[in-house]
Amino acid sequence: MTVKKLLINELDQMSAIELEKALKLLQVFGLAKHKSSVIKKYPLRGLLVQYIDPMQPVAISDWEVMT
């Protein structure tokens, strides 16, 4: 049996969580060709957020649902 077939057999037996961990490990070592977007738990993490006067009261007319 070739190494490729052995690896495929091992991957077939892994759960989705184990496969995701294996992919992340390959990415850490630079062995994966691209970054995967498989299950992003926090898609906004790392984005710049700016609050402009967050404590300012909001008028009822500002709410689209109310009008």
Q: What share of the chain is helix, strand, coil (3-state, %, to 5)?
A: 40, 0, 60
Please count the other Cβ atoms lying within 10 Å of the Cβ belonging to residue 27. Answer: 14
Q: Is the pLDDT of residue 15 over 80?
A: yes
Q: Is the pLDDT of residue 7 over 80?
A: yes
pLDDT per residue as tens digits for the range 16-66 = 989 988 888 888 888 877 665 554 677 777 788 888 888 888 777 777 765
- Considering the entire predicted model, what is its pTM? 0.45
